[in-house]
């Protein structure tokens, strides 16, 4: 999310206050503002530790997702894998991982644990969680994930708040993996 000017200290503090409340109409603009201010990563992590309201947790994770800070990797994996978290929060955690996969080696333990959590999320009862997991698996660009994504093509469940069905997102994810593979071939990797 691009912003033309950095947040002023007053805007930053106001958004950090607003993101904690139960009012979604206030949380959403606060999350969008904070998503462009990477200086707030530590403060957002502190807020997430105490936030219990679903919309506040979702908003905080949304902002953190755009920061794409690898310090949040393990947190995103834990939240994704935690069935006590609301589906929109787990889905946001999956999306957050998608912005960082390009910085993680696929043969690393971090990637392995994240992929395991994402594969488990494909069986989640929530279409939102499945949709976001499919999206993130596509963002890995990892060719061995093609068979599992092909299986997800059959999931024609709409994902409220997202574009299309889980299966349609699986189709897009397969395209991303194919493009990433072709680019690696072109680059000689």
pLDDT above 60 for 160 = yes
How high is the pLDDT of residue 184?
84
Q: Write the pLDDT tens digit of every residue in 101-119.
A: 999 999 999 999 999 999 9
pLDDT band at 5 (very low <50, low <70, confident <90, very high): low
Reported pTM: 0.93
Closest CA to 30 of 45, 41, 20, 42: 20
DSSP state, residue 71: G
Q: What is the mean pLDDT of residues 158-166?
A: 94
Closest CA to 30 of 4, 10, 60: 60
CB-CB contact of 82 with 94 (8 Å): no
pLDDT band at 188 (very low <50, low <70, confident <90, very high): confident
More confident residue, 184 or 68: 68
- Measured distance CA(91)–CA(78) in Å, rounded: 12
- Measured distance CA(168)–CA(8) in Å, rounded: 40
pLDDT band at 189 (very low <50, low <70, confident <90, very high): low
How high is the pLDDT of residue 2?
47
How high is the pLDDT of residue 149?
98
Q: Write the pLDDT tens digit of every residue in 46-66.
A: 999 999 999 999 999 999 999
**What secondary structure does DSSP assign to 105-126, as a single string?**
-TTSHHHHHHHHHHHHHTT-S-
pLDDT above 70 for 1 = no
Q: How far is CA 68 from the centre of its chain?
A: 9
């Amino acid at each position: 999310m691009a912003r033309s000017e950095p947040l002023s200290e007053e805007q930053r503090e106001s958004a950090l206050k607003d993101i904690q409340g139960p009012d979604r109409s206030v949380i959403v603009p606060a999350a969008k503002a904070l998503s462009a201010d990477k200086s707030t990563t530590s403060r957002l992590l502190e807020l997430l530790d105490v936030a219990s309201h679903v919309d506040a947790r979702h908003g905080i994770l949304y902002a953190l997702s755009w920061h794409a800070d690898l310090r949040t990797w393990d947190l995103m994996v834990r939240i994704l894998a935690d069935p006590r978290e609301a589906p929109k929060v787990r889905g946001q955690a999956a999306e957050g991982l998608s912005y960082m996969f390009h910085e993680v080696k696929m043969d690393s333990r971090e990637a392995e644990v994240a992929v395991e959590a994402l594969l488990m999320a494909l069986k989640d009862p929530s279409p939102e969680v499945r949709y976001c997991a499919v999206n993130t698996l596509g963002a890995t660009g990892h060719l061995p994930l093609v068979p599992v994504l092909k299986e997800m093509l059959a999931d024609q469940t709409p994902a409220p708040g997202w574009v299309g069905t889980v299966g349609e997102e699986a189709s897009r994810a397969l395209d991303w993996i194919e493009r990433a593979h072709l680019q690696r071939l072109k680059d000689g990797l």
